Amino acid sequence: MANSISTTSKKNHLKTPIDTHEKAHAFSAGFEMISRFNAATRQGLADDNILLSLYNLYEQLSIQDKLLNIDDNITITTGFDTGSRAPTAGTIGLVLSNNQDQPVTLASVTPNCNQKPLIIDRMQPTALIIGTLDSANEIIAIDNLDDAVMIAQHLIADNVTLLVCLDSLLFNSTVKHFAEAYPVTIFTTIDKKDKVCKPLAGCNVKAVITVFDLLTQLDNYSTYASILADDDTSIIDLQAEIWGEPEPLANDPSQPTPYPIEAFKGLLKNVVQAVAHYSQVPDAMAGQCVLGALAHMGQRFIDAPMGHGHMPTSLMLITEGESGSGKTQAMGLTHFKIKEYERQQYTNYLDDVSTWESDKASLKGKEQATFIDENPKPKNPKTLFDDATIEPILDRFISGEMTNASWTTDEAGQFFNGHTMTGDTAGSALSALTKLWSDGEVSRLRSQKSAYATPQTDAHNVRMTLLLQGQRVVLEQALTDPLMNGQGFLARALIACPPDLRGKRVWDNPQRRNDSPYDNPDLIEFWARCHALLDPLPASQPNDSTGTPQRIKMQWANQQAEQTFYQHMQAIENRQANGQTLEYLKAYASRMAENASRIAALMAFFDGRKVITTDDITRAFMLVEYSTAERLRYLDATPTGEQNDSEKLSSWLVDKARGKNPPMLNRTDAYNGAPKPMRKNNKLLQNELDNLESMGHIRQVQDGKKRVIYINPKLFI
């Protein structure tokens, strides 16, 4: 077994670095699983046509042990189903490998059965490889086993290797993974071009667009060469598709900051886009609502890493949206399961109270007193508030009625213009909220002579998220209020002021009207995950037998992830110096890293992980940077009238790369020759290069030991 694995793993053409710890772990786990089972025999395939054809292909290619006889159920060790036993006994195992051709996991296939293959580890991108993973071969990705086997029979002599993704939902992530190491070819038809190609734009992928699908043409005696040469066939380099229109760099406070939708990925990205589509709201509003839902659910399960300790994952989110702009609809979709769960819990509570009152009324004297002592009156389970004052919520924390809550409203005036925030107690209320956000603690001392006297004064390890959406007339006063800024309340908030889409929405399209969000597969999957978090199995409850919260301490996946976090933190620190962009926004800047860690932790946990990767924290900082840019725009804090550093650097790069094909420049040349103050200032130069990349002006690529800057060709037009 070991010999066959090392034989198929001898090639290594990886062009981008990957985490060696994760790679070693995946290889070790895959090797351990595979080594438990013997190679499948022809007789063991039970005359299954596809499996027999696959067996014959591997024999022709002299590749061994890709089909195994699974004689036992396998325990799942990753993802949401960790610990459960998969019903794999008596099936055939297909060895799935990563882009290093190392075995990572198995797919269980039942011969002569129409059920989809059961992939044991869905968390890591893998494929069944038919052929040799070698840069000398053309590597074609196919999204189902049956087609792949039949295509392989046609192309086995054409120096082609097939990557078979056994679940079409994982196709894009699988292609992206292998494209990090090799050029990958995909096939699609004209009618599916956009759906197939758009998710892979910017990847090292070649898309072959044909009138008829590849297998149909091969079955009708077309050769691979003739298909590629056909006049109706078009071939698109998807890596070149990454260049969109470069965004303007000039400071314009009237223009909303572009929302970084790429900060979300996978299911969450699809959910943000689905909510924006069905509610006809900007991506930013949908994204804020999704973050609010993640925080409401996740804060009871996890804490985020910060320094040598951990902190709550609660968020404060403030979104501007006028009346009728779709705030209610967006929140209705992201919080659909949360509100449904709250309603059911409240119904159960009323039933419990009724039963408790009846039981109490049936007893008298000492028996009744004993009953009350042993059976406390049921507590109201409400945790989602939209119209309240701060004090009663704090009291419920202190009394132990709840440990997690969120104030979620599309009428932010109820919060900002309520009695608490407009009266003499505003300062103490804001102080309580900031302490709750930072430490998860509440302290509230009442007079022991008052009608509300109670010996309880403190609550620890409690969580509160704020999702406040309101009109500009409400938010403008709040965002410029000296007390709210001075107390640090707004410094902790993630702010979004997206464009108003009223006047641009579509209501008279029958197809749009008939497209129900409640039939959308991404929203359905999102709601299913929400339900699992809201009503977890007993073993997954985020508290001990006494009800005390026992939250998971999220960790960095590795040293690289942690270092990436602190590099971003350092860059933010540098931007607070005199003359830099955050000079007058130091209070906000000081909280940017904390918010990024919280967001990354929530996203990772929602994906079923307990560690935060480099990718997680990088994407989280995109959302934090967006919020800070919106805050700067709201305050008009960026000086205008002259060319800023980003504009200077972009113009210089365009001038120096003019006439080159492709237009590119070594980073060393930029370091030595860029306009001041970037010249020979590595940190400042890198900040501006990162900004230009986020605005679509450049791409930074590692080429061996060199770092190369590619300039958007559209800047030369």
User: Over the range 675-701, which residues count as b (16 or more CB within 10 Å of their CB) and which as e?
Assistant: eeebeeeeebbbbbbebbebbbbbbee
Using pLDDT thresholds of 50, 70 and 90, give the confidence band for residue 419: low
pLDDT at residue 254, rounded to an integer? 61
Range 409-416 average pLDDT: 83
> How do residues 638-667 score in pLDDT, each as one tens digit?
434 456 788 899 999 999 998 776 688 999
Using pLDDT thresholds of 50, 70 and 90, give the confidence band for residue 10: very low
Q: Per mean pLDDT, which range of 186-190, 329-333, 372-376 is the poorest?
A: 372-376
Under DSSP, is residue 697 helix (H, G, I), strand (E, B) or coil? coil
Using pLDDT thresholds of 50, 70 and 90, give the confidence band for residue 448: very low
> How do residues 90-116 score in pLDDT, each as one tens digit?
999 999 999 999 999 999 999 999 889
75 — phi, psi (to 5°)?
Answer: -85, 125
> How do residues 183-208 score in pLDDT, each as one tens digit?
999 999 999 999 999 898 878 889 99
Q: Which of 584, 591, 647 is nearest to 621 (CA)?
A: 591
pLDDT at 451 over 60: no
Pair 455, 334: CB distance under 8 Å: no
| Domain range 645-716, CATH architecture | Orthogonal Bundle (1.10)
pLDDT at residue 641, rounded to an integer? 41
Say how far apart CA 238 and CA 198 lie, in whole Å: 8
Q: Can you spell out the DSSP letters for 357-403?
A: HHHHHT--HHHHHHHHHHSPPPPP---EESS--HHHHHHHHHHTS-S
Under DSSP, is residue 144 helix (H, G, I), strand (E, B) or coil? coil
Residue identified by tokens 């910017």 is: 202
Q: List the domain boundaries for the chain.
A: 2-182, 247-641, 645-716
> How do residues 378-404 score in pLDDT, each as one tens digit?
999 999 998 877 888 898 999 889 999
Say how far apart CA 182 and CA 188 lie, in whole Å: 19
> How do residues 41-52 score in pLDDT, each as one tens digit?
999 999 999 999
**Tokens standing for residue 717:** 């037009």
**Check: CATH 1.10.3470 for 247-641?**
no
> How do residues 53-66 score in pLDDT, each as one tens digit?
999 999 999 998 89
pLDDT at residue 431, rounded to an integer? 86
Q: Which of residues 240 and 314 earns the better pLDDT score?
A: 314
Q: Per mean pLDDT, which range of 19-28, 136-145, 309-318, 573-582 is the poorest?
A: 19-28
pLDDT at residue 714, rounded to an integer? 78
Q: Which of residues 240 and 302 earns the better pLDDT score?
A: 302
Q: Per mean pLDDT, which range of 137-141, 439-443, 536-540 is the poorest?
A: 536-540
Q: CA 263, 264, 265, 269 torsion: positive or negative?
A: negative
Alpha helices in 162-240 (DSSP H): 171-179, 193-197, 214-219, 224-229
pLDDT at residue 650, rounded to an integer? 94
pLDDT at residue 635, rounded to an integer? 64
> Between vectors from CA 702 to CA 698 and to CA 706, what angle results, nearest 5°?
105
Say how far apart CA 566 and CA 573 lie, in whole Å: 10
Q: Which of 341, 463, 458, 346 is nearest to 404 (CA)?
A: 463
